[in-house]
Amino acid sequence: MEMADHTTLRLMELLLTAEIVNHEISLGIPDLTPEHREAFGVGKNGSELNRPFVISNTTVKRVLGVEDAHQLVRTHPFVGFDDFGQRLSITALDGAARWFLDRGGRPMAEANPALAYYYEKAGIEGIAYDDARENNPLYEDSRAFLERRIAPIAAESEEMKEALGLVTLRAPEEIEESLEFFVATPEQLEVIGKIQVALRNREYLRKHQIYQIGRLLFLGPPGTGKTSFALSLAKVLHMPILEVRLSMITSQYLGETSKNIDRIFEIAKKLTPCILFIDEFDYVARTRDSDDHGAMKRAVNTLLMSIDHVSLIRSGVLFIGATNHPGILDEAVWRRFDEVLPFSLPDAGMRERILNAITRNIEVSMDLPTLALRTEGFSGADLRLMVKEAVMAALIDGREAITGMDIEQGMLLVDRRNALRKGGMVVP
């Protein structure tokens, strides 16, 4: 039997999904793929599905990029077209569903919860609704869902709107970092396990007033993975992350720094559950015994009080501070954290694992264990920079495979950058 082309199959998947969800009231947003959530405007008018879904030529053009979609299926026995409304519809669901499977649509049906629900109910072997639902990206992980939560905060006041401009907000679906490719230490993995257990048992912990969980302090030199680990946590925990650099919210105007800190923590509490990740934590949270002026000391006090008012157990906010300079932190700051997690320069074994992760889809002729031994003192960021430079050297030369000479160029670049950073001499 002749297979249908991919574009026609995608159009039929869209039409079948609309038809099935319109009639199966038990199906909801989690049963739509991300593409179909966008197609049906999920999130624009609240969190409910606005049935019935209508598929027009305009909808298909917006979602699939196809002009005059009805022309693709003009001879299709199970698709109708309304010339007046420019609308397409399924005229016989059972026949259209069978046609879709027979013409190559099975992989799409297996991955689409709405279609999988229909086919499993129809007794089609090998298509499981639970499997499709489990592997379908969560709507709560999407940017669309996050935007719905941000909108009312921005509408509250001009101050809150300005405060949103001080943070970088990312939905889990936008995060490229993944624990699958992050070379974590056993201690770091243990912390993830504790947080997951705490989230599953929030009610029990709240009942017994065990709140001091989920305030993490990351310590380590630049490039050792503090930010990447925080982003990976957001993805694995299915939480949006608010990333803040304290140097960016410090104002020249007296009192504004404290207000900015207050507003950022307020945003986090309104977006719960979420992760609040503050980088350059030492920029404000330094010891109050220093010669800082009164406004900065007030900012430290504001930061301490704000930390006291967020809790993974009570408010659903996982709070993470990160610093390259732990020695200058105020003693009271240390007491606010229940977990202090070191991020150190990787040893040879970790460097080899990092190199394997970075080059997993790249052809490299150099022996990675040997390269790991030669890169003593390189951070994870240094290794990524080295490989990036090697890739560029190969591409400039018209190749995709990386050679030892390409790697040498990458190592030289890292050495020169590190020498400049440390204020040393740069050898020509």
Please report the DSSP string for 13-30 in residue order: HHHHHHHHHHH-TT--GG
Which residues 6+ apart lie within 8 Å of 253 measured at CB?
A: none
273: preceding bond cis by omega (within 30 degrees):
yes
Task: Give the amino acid at 389.
Answer: E
Measured distance CA(259)–CA(310) in Å, rounded = 16
Q: Which of 92, 84, 27, 32 is nearest to 56 (CA)?
A: 84
Angle separating helix axes 186-200 and 226-237, nearest 10 degrees: 30
- DSSP annotation of 97 reads H
pLDDT of residue 81: 92
Fold (topology level) of 348-421: Helicase, Ruva Protein; domain 3 (1.10.8)
- Sheet of 317-323, strands arranged across: 168-170, 241-245, 274-279, 317-323, 215-219, 339-342
Sheet holding 79-82, edge to edge: 55-56, 87-90, 79-82
Instruction: Report the C-alpha gap between 94 and 23 in whole angstroms.
Output: 13
3-state SS, one letter per residue, for 237-266: HCCCEEEEEHHHHCCCCCCHHHHHHHHHHH
* Cβ contact 196:214 at 8 Å: no
* Sites in the chain below the pLDDT cut of 70: 1, 43-48, 251-255, 285-295, 423-428
pLDDT score recorded for residue 289 = 55
Fold of 141-342: Rossmann fold (3.40.50)
Residue 366: per-residue pLDDT: 87
Q: How would DSSP label each residue in 36-47?
A: HHHHTTTBBTBS
Question: Comparing C-alpha atoms, which of 369, 363, 422 is closest to residue 387?
Answer: 363
Predicted confidence at residue 428, as pLDDT, reads 45
| C-alpha separations of 155 from 107, 143, 266, 267, 321 in Å | 43, 18, 14, 12, 28
Distance in angstroms (rounded) separating the CA atoms of residues 307 and 365: 49
Contact 364, 352 (CB under 8 A): no
pLDDT of residue 95: 96
Q: How many CA atoms lie within 13 A of 198 on its CB side?
A: 23
pTM to 2 decimals?
0.83
Decide: residue 211, CB within 10 A, 0-12 exposed, 13-18 middle, 19+ buried: middle
- Domain ranges in the chain? 6-136, 141-342, 348-421
- Name beta bridge partners: 319: 215, 276
